[in-house]
Amino acid sequence: MTSRVGPRASSPNRSDFKPRERVVPHYQMSASLKSEVQKLNLVHLLIWLLVAAQVTVSHFNLVSHDTVSIPYQWEYPYLLSILPLLCSSLSLPKNNISYLVISMLSAGLFSVTPLIYGGMEMFPVAQQLYRHGKAYRFIFGFSAVTVMYLVMVVAIQVHAWQLYYMKKLLDSWFDTTQEKKKK
């Protein structure tokens, strides 16, 4: 309970709270980095859903291969990139460092590596399209290699920013953990 005697705020417009109430900077940084990681996780989920939809539609022959082409080989291992997404989502609510580290390591293995392989796999097809103007795979009337390269460019940027923000978040959490151990 509050007492009715003792020091009171002297300002009638309550403007003197600023020197008393402050949030420690690493908590502010942790909250803003969590927000950024959550936004990037959402974009990653959308990219994953696009790739999963193409693989599913092609695998179950839901539409003709003229409308949606068969997937490239890199798309199958890229479907495992849902694992780093789940790990990072599990790490955010309670600042779980272990899940965040697992997410960062598996993002390199299941997200970035298939994209690098996919860039190399599709390069001869893109070269043929550029030199001769011939495309053999299509996604809704567009060249499949062009569409997938656009998806890959966005995915590489999303994963790079995810890893960057997760590293900054890990550093922020690790610093707070070390400060607690020192006290």
Average pLDDT of the chain?
88
H-state helical runs in the chain: 25-59, 75-78, 82-91, 97-107, 113-132, 144-182
Mean pLDDT (whole number) for 150-157: 96
Is residue 1 predicted with pLDDT exceeding 60? no
The CA-atom distances, in angstroms, between 68 and each of 5, 30, 45, 128 are 76, 42, 21, 20
Residues in the chain: 183
pTM for the structure as a whole: 0.82
How do the domains of the chain map onto residue ranges? 34-173
Please write the tens of the pLDDT for every residue from 160-175.
Answer: 999 999 999 999 888 7
